Amino acid sequence: MNEGKRGLLLDFGGVISVTLFERHRTSERLLGLKDGTLNWRGPFDPGSDSLWRDMVAGKISERDYWARRAHETGRLIGEDWDMLAMIQRTMGDNPNLHVRPEALDLVQRAKAAGKRVGILSNELELFYGADAMRRLDILRLMDRIVDATHTKILKPDPRSYAFGCETLGLRPQDIVFVDDQVRNVDGARKAGLTAIAFDVARPSHCFAEAAAALGLGGARL
**Mean pLDDT on 87-101:** 95
Q: Is 17 helix (H, G, I), strand (E, B) or coil?
A: strand
The domain limits of the chain are: 7-18+99-213, 21-95
Instruction: Count Cα atoms within 13 angstroms, Cβ side, for 39.
Output: 7
The answer to whether 127 touches 121, Cβ cutoff 8 Å, is no
Backbone angles phi, psi at 101, to 5 degrees: -60, -30
pLDDT at residue 165 greater than cutoff 70:
yes
pLDDT at residue 3 greater than cutoff 90:
no
**Mean pLDDT on 154-182:** 97
**Mean pLDDT on 172-199:** 97
Sheet of strand 7-10, all strands in order from the earlier edge strand to the far edge:
144-147, 116-121, 7-10, 175-179, 194-197
Q: Where are the beta strands (DSSP E) in the chain?
A: 7-10, 116-121, 144-147, 175-179, 194-197
72-89 confidence digits (pLDDT tens): 999 999 999 999 999 999
7-18+99-213: CATH topology is Rossmann fold (3.40.50)
**Mean pLDDT on 20-43:** 96
